[in-house]
Structure 1
Amino acid sequence: MFLEMCKEEGLNPNKEYSGTFNLRVSPELHAQIAARAAAEGKSLNKCVTDLLGDAVHSQ
């Protein structure tokens, strides 16, 4: 679907990305994710990366 949309709109789907972006969340969600990361023995970055990866791959 994404590739079809890119083709229709003349976009290059293979754009290079830096691998970093800023994300703003509520303080409550930040605390929940930090607690989950600590409980799993992960950094906050690794926890969020894993959660985003799981969400993208479950579609």
Structure 2
Amino acid sequence: MSGTVAFEVPPGWSAEPATLPYTLGPGGFTLTDITVTAPAGPRPGGTWLAARLS
């Protein structure tokens, strides 16, 4: 299986890289590092992050 994973973050946030290609064999997995940056200042409550495969 191969495709692209896109990292989705709330408005005003950033993810670097925002997308990455991947290739996985049967039973395979991969690890990677991304940097998520939140806007300055306190934000009460929780938030969401998502990774979508295509």
TM-score range, shorter chain: under 0.3
Quick check: which one's strand share is greater? 2
TM-score (norm 1): 0.25
Q: Higher relative contact order at CA 8 Å, sep ≥6: structure 1 or structure 2?
A: 2
Quick check: which one's helix share is greater? 1
